[in-house]
Structure 1
């Protein structure tokens, strides 16, 4: 176990100069289904060395190379990956076609040595889903797809922010005012109803008093 840890630290220390000998982007992003191109530069002394592109495993090392050059400027292609070295510009480009979500991960672009440890640079590949153009058309209502009606005529109007604020102010004023008017009308109605009942009671009391104090009306004799 100690030998493995010492060997791992030795590898990390030996390859830590990869950022100086080989440089490139730290992260690249591609749309699903499109092509991705990654360019890495190297020191002029590595011009005739083989250049490679690989995917890192759990230990952050490359056990197998996805693709590599033979030390020349000839383009090498394998499945969906191709690599081309430009020794005049001291850079090489890796192209990945038909990108899929499974292509996400950590990769290395580097210079392969024979007797010494490789020089490399780490790059993270991110893939985002492609936007479908048919989503908008599938969500349209029958009214908007009517040939007699121009597109969007059946959609409700969109209020701007000042219009919304104005509407809220009107509601905040009109709603309490309407509640006050309804409450006042109800109060007046109940008040009038109670006064009417009081008047009726007074009239009934006065009529009963008069009935007790009035003499009986004599009967008119028949002829």
Structure 2
């Protein structure tokens, strides 16, 4: 992680963060819940656990749950986004309730150009393993595409063989996205949860090529794929 993007935290800071969310958002009637608990995800859970350490992360999550209980708020359903291989076995003990991803589509160590159909099917085949290795329910993550090269302007004339220039997913189409959504809806995690969700990245991430908003190529196709699912 770039040090400039690091956000120091501790138990008190995390409790204050959750308290702010509870007081301003959790009580709203349209706030998303899972199993009757307020849904909250941490991106990136790997950095969260690394910043506080496993013991500190466990203490922070437990303290936040106590604060919610003591102040009359419903409990959290806390999702770990993007736990790496070392963090994945820790998230249950730390206090998370489920695992998911932000954009689980490109292979960061794969070729420059990657086919949407192939990689969407490949990623779907990995979903169950995240539940098995974490001991938690896995909520599938589906994206309509991936191409972050528009962000490359920040690099000037350099073309590094990594984000944002590489990889690029090609061959995306609303029909293939709809297929991916159907697989996600049909998926049953090895560990179950009431009211499971399917994560879609994203509504409007134009600069990384995963968005649902209307465009000149497909019109309302991405949104229609979600509606049809």
Q: TM-score, normalised by structure 2?
A: 0.20
Give the structure with the larger helix fraction: 2
Give the structure with the larger strand fraction: 1
* Structure number with bigger Rg: 1
